[in-house]
Amino acid sequence: MMIAVFGTGYVGTVTGTCFADLGNRVVCVDVDEARIARLRGGDPVIYEPGLKELLQKNLKAGRLEFTSEAGRAVDGADVVFICVGTPPRLNGEADLSYVQNVARTIGTHMRDYKVVVNKSTVPVGTYDLVRRAVRDAQEGRGIPFDVVSNPEFLREGAAVRDFQNPDRIVVGTDSERAKETLSKLYGPVARATRPVMFTTIPSAELIKYASNAMLATRISFMNELSHLCETVGADITDVAKGMGLDSRIGSRFLHAGCGYGGSCFPKDVKALAQLLEQQGLTSTLLQAVDYINERQKRSVVQKLKKFLPDLEGKTIAVWGLAFKPRTDDVREAPSVTVIEQLARAYAKVRAFDPEAIENGRRALAHLSGVEFVKDAYAAVEGADALVILTEWDEFREPDLGRMKEVMRAPIIVDGRNILVPREVQALGFMYASIGR
């Protein structure tokens, strides 16, 4: 099948590359010429396990192409995917201007029937906006098309695997022709136990927001509970395990920590809350979820100040910049909030991350006193404290003896609960974690 993908960010690059790997002919479109050049050269721009190999394989096979020529991509496609960003406005509402611009571009260049697939995360009702934009851009030519909602469920750090082995494929459509096309397109990755789920368009648009908001709610619930655990002497990890053994609850997303981040959860919680308000409904729960998360990010420095009341001039090592392991994404990451707080307290920060150094450097370019190093132990050398903000595997079993020798003060604030308290404290470290 001939596919055009608009947007070469996280979702667009993974989607286009993986569809090409299934044997389709895929053209990915972006206005960023520098990004296009890197992708043409086999550089996926983002860090995602397995993506680089697939990208280079399908470029070499001639099934995958990157271009800034929108007209040629649309003209040759059977299916056109919209995979552009929907960043939040100041009030939390999703900015749909990029989606609308792509829809106009599709309408301008199409010459025959297309299935227009909205894969960007969008609020309920975006289907109508896209359909109007495509139709109006045709300027009366009356070329038939269908608009489909097909939300993405790609976890950063596991996106290639999620595409190839999805736990669900959701398609919202009111067209039998579009349904047939999407069934054929997703046939190679659908499973007997996990077939393509066809729904109404509003339902498909809402499923993505609802899923992310539910997961964010579970995280914020545990983070709220972690403060109670610290007060009454309970251990949040034991509480989470006991809860998770209940089959009605399950163990996923019950880990307390320093807050969630990334391109989805913060934005989608705010957008869903805004959508509820627009419909005259209340968003009290989602507002609380967002508030708890932001408070949790700030709690890390509060814990640190119990050991170091005056941070001015102190050197604080930070392990982890990415919002989660196996990605280089620092968008809305707790590390950004924590490092900004440290900088405001006139502390010096020495940060390390296995993959997110460059993105962290860009996100924190407005701050002075932040140094980025290429080794975890270089970060702690001469440091007055260590703060752990991302649960990379290489941070789970560090050489604590070596660390104590090179650190100025044996202080660790573990924002991801990856170390064993009794082991750390037995070596003489002052140690704080979340809810333990």
Other Cβ atoms within 10 Å of 248 Cβ, number: 5
Length of the chain: 436
Nearest by Cα to 74 from 104, 100, 44, 98? 104
Contact call for residues 363 and 196 (beta carbons, < 8 A): no
Contact call for residues 380 and 404 (beta carbons, < 8 A): no
Contact call for residues 127 and 185 (beta carbons, < 8 A): no
Cα→Cα distances 87→121, 133, 251, Å? 10, 19, 30
Tokens representing 23 are 């044997």
Instruction: Give the integer Cα–Cα distance in Å for 434 and 436.
Output: 6
Contact call for residues 132 and 147 (beta carbons, < 8 A): no
Annotation marks residue 18 as catalytic: no
Burial of 419 (0-12, 13-18, 19+ CB in 10 A): buried
Half-sphere exposure at residue 55, Cβ-oriented, CA atoms within 13 angstroms:
24
Sign, CA dihedral 283-286-292-294, equals negative
Nearest by Cα to 319 from 414, 225, 228? 414
Whose tokens are 């059977």? That residue is: 78
Instruction: Give the integer Cα–Cα distance in Å for 285 and 71.
Output: 44
Sequence-distant (6+) residues with CB within 8 A of 323 are 260, 261, 262, 329, 330, 331, 332, 333, 334, 335, 390
Strands in 370-372's sheet, in edge-to-edge order, are 370-372, 348-352, 315-319, 385-388, 411-414, 430-432
| Catalytic residue (choose from 18, 83, 229, 264) | 264
Positions marked catalytic: 264
